[in-house]
Structure 1
Amino acid sequence: MAVYGKILVAIDLTEEAPQVLEKAKAIRESSGAEIILVHVVEPVGYAYGGDIPMDLTELQEQLDKAAKAQLHSYGVEYGVPESNQIVTVGRPESEIHRLSEELSVNLVIVGSHGRKGFQLLLGSTANGVLHGAICDVLAVRIH
């Protein structure tokens, strides 16, 4: 079995995030791995297709600030130092791939709702991460 030294845990900051964090915690306890928490905030413009003729910078900054506060709370609860808590802006799959390469992680952990059929074909973050990752990916089934 592979031993993981550095784990990137990508969470969406919903009430389901602790399920993913508990799995990461268990792996850390058995392997001594370093955990890096990441949350990707999608650009506000994506929600509107970029067609809104207004400055959304302040709204984006508020979303980033709220995400950092929530991620920090999870970091404290799960013993992840602030230096290993990352909030970034972009497409989740792309940012997770970029960070996993830049930080030389050997495992990415994401949550998965276990979608099937067309929902799976249309894609989910977990599916997108899996198919572009250069390291192992653990998709934790969300109940």
Structure 2
Amino acid sequence: MSIYSKVMVAIDLTEEAPQVLGKALEVSKAHGAELMLVHVVEPVGYAYGGDIPMDLSELQDQLDKAAHEQLQAYGDQYGISKENQVVTVGRPESEIHRLAKEQGVDLVIVGSHGRRGIQLLLGSTANGVLHGSECDVLAVRIN
């Protein structure tokens, strides 16, 4: 029996996403694990601190739609079923923790940019996922 039966890969839909996805696919295949693809859209209000008195719902809807389209394209390209493709809205660290717990995930895979200084090894999202996770976390170094 394998250590991992359900693996979640959380991507940010940047040009580096294929590096993280490729590694996640290798790990899930090596363990015969189900692979779940996740992207968290941050609420538009977070970017502006909620200080702008305007309706941002249309912009949020556009971001959600674009995220669903991009995630579906990656899902199709990497052979990940629609039921294992999730786009959610919220703070990335907390949404990843919530989904991992709800879905019974054994391993969460995230990308890491290998920052210097305070965030020496991990980016802020990868660091947040690592420190609050109830399961193993693999940080894939992005070149």
What is residue 12 of structure 1 aligned with on the other side? 12
Structure 2: tracts of 5 or more residues without a match: none
Identity of aligned residues (%): 73
Q: Secondary structure at the match of 1:95?
A: helix
Q: Structure 2 CA distance, aligned partners of 1:142 and 1:105?
A: 23
What is residue 91 of structure 1 aligned with on the other side? 91
What is residue 101 of structure 2 aligned with on the other side? 101
1:116 CA displacement: 2.7
What is residue 55 of structure 1 aligned with on the other side? 55
What is residue 21 of structure 2 aligned with on the other side? 21
Q: Structure 2 CA distance, aligned partners of 1:36 and 1:140?
A: 16
Range that drifts further, 23-32 or 3-12: 23-32
1:30 CA displacement: 1.2
1:118 CA displacement: 2.1
1:29 CA displacement: 1.8
What is residue 64 of structure 1 aligned with on the other side? 64
Q: Is the 8 A contact 2:9 2:109 kept in 1?
A: yes
What is residue 43 of structure 1 aligned with on the other side? 43
Runs of 4+ in structure 1 over 4 Å off: 120-123
Give TM-score scaled by structure 2 length.
Answer: 0.95
Structure 1: tracts of 5 or more residues without a match: none
**Aligned-pair Cα RMSD in Å:** 1.7
